[in-house]
Structure 1
């Protein structure tokens, strides 16, 4: 159509292809046999007229639009982006649309996004990332889960712990604590006894809580104390990690290894160590968690814990939806494994 012209209608597509409007509807819906030659004529007319289906009209006629919504903190986070990629990949394979909302860590914004997606008729609403797991959160999420279930949608907790029994949810987790235990144990087995944990969060996020628990369990297994001076808080941002470790190094360098709570934190830690004239891994070993872009971009390449983020996204969609694209029964739960990826950032202490 020429620029500035009105949007093509179903009637116009039918006239252009020389078929009935019913035939055009059947081709677009792909829900009734149509001769291949006729189908090609209709699809060619759709392309030439730049026809766009009116999804609002479909909804008013009682037809589901077939969408999956996912709500995450920030699209710029590498781990979030990997989960989002997995969700988008699986929804596209199933012939569904993906809708994305970001919260920037605002709990009220998350609630508003979930309500909006419920109004839009999304088949599933996937919440991604760690949370502060307390009674208020659980009660709030349970109400949301029941409301979505009543409206024909499914709440999916991705990278979050399950709610109390009875909440109609789908849950996809990864073995967070065991990954931290494994990577800390590797440092301890290599001879390190003073391992600094960088990235504690005062808000009690489930992500850091699990990683810190794994770190402490590894120390306890070796009979080592969990020294409070070796746990350094900082947000999961490169610049904050750089500043936190630089300040800690200014007080004392009483450790031989750093366990960064994320690969992004590890990138900031590497900069601080270099600024202090320390070599990784000759002077200080460094490990991270996530196995996302910074892990292989850094030099030396980072030893880290691999989390199957993209597979988490794909699994969330597969478990949440039945083959017809509608919500699957609630109660499905998957726990994905993690493993240590050894690269060049660790060595025995000198």
Structure 2
């Protein structure tokens, strides 16, 4: 046949109604043995494949969890997606991974699509620029999804308003930054530059705050905090470090550099090597995220570990618990996962 076989074709072949075919295929309504045999014979003869999407909308298909990521090639986002998929698979749920490219309009379109397809859970992962527009947009998402019976999870994102109907799942970003900055300060470093601040980005603001907290805890004045603005990324970190070296006449002014993430730190190390400096003999460098390649840099990078896979798994578990309590539970639930330092070879002690 040139066209796709439909449920109406099966009904006509079996000599029964479309509703009877639907009931037989769904398996959740009583039907006579004779009707069932006719339908299954017609399905076989016509090589009919049930429309999984239509079955899902009818409530008899596999439930779906969608995770929306800024970039699927990011190790951090990939770890979250892996966790979501692993937990969903254990519960016989279908996972959909969507890339937004950091575009709010693309994100909005995907959220709307997931609402129309009656996804059980929608996970929005990663930091955002938190402003009035963001808060209004996310609140609108959450209310619309809740009305459709879908649970929204903000994973690694701040809650827009106090009572938004969503699961808020974060990791201790600020404390992780405080811990690794304190690691540098405890090693004797007092001239530390933070490279990779993106103003307004929730992830970045929290890490800079943790950096400043550590300086204050060690009795250093606020003026001791050197914060360099640049986007997250290896090339951005490399260019920023070259800029710092150019500004100081070519010689390192700072004994240590805190890269906002591991990619930035990798770029800082590249720039130092290109100028003939050694890490950590001349300058110590730390990062954030503990991406898989961090252990293979030269030298292996001291960094902060984020439990990416556990974030994904916990997102699914919390959303399902919240959905099960609909009507009797809180509109919003929160959980904070911990972070920890991974000490490798990129930090040297000062005498």
Aligned to 2:213: 217
In the alignment, structure 1 segments of 5+ residues that lack a partner are 33-41
Distance change (3 Å), C-alpha of 1:57 and 1:135:
closer
CA RMSD in angstroms comes to: 3.0
Aligned to 1:336: 337
Moved more, 183-192 or 64-73: 64-73
Aligned to 2:51: 54
Q: Is the partner of 1:219 in helix, strand or coil?
A: helix
Q: Is the 8 A contact 2:56 2:63 kept in 1?
A: no
Q: 1:195 aligns with which of 192, 196, 213?
A: 192
Q: Is the partner of 1:282 in helix, strand or coil?
A: coil
Moved over 3 A (4+): 3-12, 20-26, 49-53, 59-65, 226-229, 322-330
Mapping 1:257-276, distance limit 5 Å: 257-276=256-275
Q: 2:229 aligns with which of 224, 227, 233?
A: 233
Q: CA offsets per residue over residues 1-48 of structure 1, 9 Å max, x none?
A: xx9996798979xx9xxxx9777654xx8x99xxxxxxxxx9xx99xx
Distance in 1 (CA, whole Å) between partners of 2:262 and 2:57 is: 47
Give 1:230 deviation, angstroms: 2.3
Aligned to 2:115: 118
Tell me if 1:242 matches 2:238.
Answer: yes
Distance in 2 (CA, whole Å) between partners of 1:53 and 1:133 is: 44
Aligned to 1:349: 350
Tell me if 1:141 matches 2:138.
Answer: yes
In the alignment, structure 2 segments of 5+ residues that lack a partner are 15-19, 31-39
Distance in 2 (CA, whole Å) between partners of 1:259 and 1:291 is: 14
Distance in 2 (CA, whole Å) between partners of 1:217 and 1:60 is: 50
Distance change (3 Å), C-alpha of 1:51 and 1:179:
farther
Give 1:52 deviation, angstroms: 4.7
Give the TM-score normalised by structure 2.
0.84
Give 1:94 deviation, angstroms: 0.9
Distance in 2 (CA, whole Å) between partners of 1:131 and 1:304 is: 22
Aligned to 1:172: 169
Count how many residue pairs are aligned between Structure 1 and Structure 2. Answer: 325
Q: Is the 8 A contact 1:154 1:327 kept in 2?
A: no
